[in-house]
Amino acid sequence: MRILFVIDGLPGGGAEKVVLTLAEQFLSEGEQVSLFSLRDVCDYPLPEGLDYQVIVDRCRKPWRKLTELSRRARQLDAAVEKAEQRGAFRPGALESA
């Protein structure tokens, strides 16, 4: 199964640590795990085997905040589409064993 996590960034914090802990566990179970970060900040060591990608927003226009949500959604869609060329991510919630 391919698993995708999306997070704003990985500065020191609780949610970030939880995402990395989950990713590490899934990797240890033999799953393929990708983590897309919307900012290039990472204060944690990344688990070996994690497909980590930063989705960079290069827009520097003065009104960039007005269009940020739609622009970032398009960037994320493009990154997911490119990553799915190696196989689709499974949509939905986690399954129990």
Structural domain boundaries in the chain: 2-86
CATH class of 2-86: alpha beta
How high is the pLDDT of residue 92? Answer: 59
How high is the pLDDT of residue 85? Answer: 87
pTM of this structure: 0.75
Could you read off the pLDDT of 19-57 as tens digits, one per residue?
Answer: 999 999 999 999 999 999 999 999 999 999 999 999 988
Return the SS3 of 62. Answer: coil
- Which residues, in sequence order, are CB contacts of 51 under 8 Å at separation 6+? 32, 33, 34, 35, 83
Average pLDDT, stretch 86-97?
62
Contact call for residues 36 and 4 (beta carbons, < 8 A): yes
